[in-house]
Structure 1
Amino acid sequence: MRYGQRDVVHGLDLTIERGEIFALLGPNGAGKTTTIEILEGLRLRSAGRVSVLGTDPAGADDAWRSRIGIVVQSWRDHPKWRVGELVRHLARYYPDPIDPQELLDLVGLADQAHQEVQKLSGGQRRRLDVALGILGRPELLFLDEPTTGFDPEARLAFHELAQRLNRDHGMTILLTTHDLAEAEKLATRTGILLGGRLVACGTTEELAKAVSTTTEVRWTGPDGTAHRVHVPDPSKFVYDLHRTADGPIPDLEVRRPSLEETYLRLIHLEDPL
């Protein structure tokens, strides 16, 4: 994608498999929103090839659009509609919608069916956003910063909902978020965008290995001294440690880098992978 003489997305080669929860990460200005909007068919690309559910989004018809669901970061339409009325009304525009009552039960809004949208809490409003995004039984769901502003309880409930949609309904989910713990918890694989390029892609373990060939091992020695080392083969190191101690090792911990640590290392590399 080019704006004037500036390429904001370039050399991006990405395949997302059916049934995945895929997280797309990157700092502000990395090209995440542009990439997602191209995939959703909301923005025309400058060059390259794109296929989403077997179709080029740039020329997609309504039948294709009914197969995707979009939950944007902020949406404040229909404030005076009652929740149940809004869901029932929009369901009329899909060929095979989820039953409105079943949908409200699924997202945990059955008790708010008669409440005006503008009176919902932030977490409830986000659940309604998801309900409207999945109303047409999409095969692919785009979630853009889904838990921004959530308290911990609301975030946990939303994570459980996303996992249930993926597990029980076979829904593929493409997630963008700045919450790296959220991405690590939900995503099957993660892609990291930097400067409009995909600099790394894989599972948390694969990404960790891309930036570090060692694993941290911590334990407490017989004299109470805390030890911490980085080793290339933690399994062999722990095995030798047990043999040397001839018994349990106090406070033993084998710790690979978290997704957050890996992400921060990757985006600060002068020559990313």
Structure 2
Amino acid sequence: MEIINRSVQFFEKYDSAILGYVIHFGLAIVIFIVGRFIAMFISSQLRRILNAKNVEPTIIKFTSSTSRYIIMGLTLVAVLGQLGVQTSSIVAIIGAAGLAIGLALQGSLSNFAAGVLLILFRPFKVGELVIVSNIRGTVDAIQIFSTTILTPTGEAVTIPNSHVLATSIINFTRQPNRRIDLTIGIDYKADIKEVYQILQSAVERTPNVMKDLGIIIRLDELATSSINFLVMVWTDNDNYGPVRTLVLENIKNDLDHNNINIPFPTMDINIR
């Protein structure tokens, strides 16, 4: 009976304080649940949006996880504040730690920021033929901190994303069509009109040449040992290599058939 009386007296004396603690604890739980829901929702929405844009799986996972951790970190700070913990010192420690980490990882952070910009603006995608930092090849992977280019000779070149963004990027695959530019050197003894006809015929009978986009053949230069003709034709990107090879083969065969030489470089030497 005495224990009950003491309990009643205790609750009568501290009922407001206990009620306050219970309310704060309940609000802290609500804040944690709501914050966790928001973190999961935003993370899943980011994953869905990036998947729809065909972003690399590694980047999708990193971005969604980072957003979830940031929101959960802010949620825990709010929970501690609701429980009466002084959060100003915690925020100051986190800020100081973030500054120290940022100074130590300046290069990595610049590569990360460049990677984010590459994802947003997408100057190239995996599988496209590009020239980046004077490296020509096919994009093999776009990662968080670097981009990997696979060269025609089979080398995998890894370039930091900050270097990728700082240099000019030539993308050969982005447009559906591509122009073939050829310079054909002809002997000075050849008849120019006949050469025009031969080149025109050789180009026109080549498969997959887009005649509707125009065929340009013109005399471009009177060089040291040859008359140089410029041949410009269009084809679709997928057939660029084979069409270029066929055009060259047809031109060479037709010139040989008409006894028109492609001269070697020559030099006249006078000896006294």
Please give the TM-score of this superposition, normalised by the length of structure 1.
0.26
Higher helix proportion: 2
The structure whose RCO (Cα within 8 Å, separation 6+) is larger is 1
**Greater C-alpha Rg:** 2
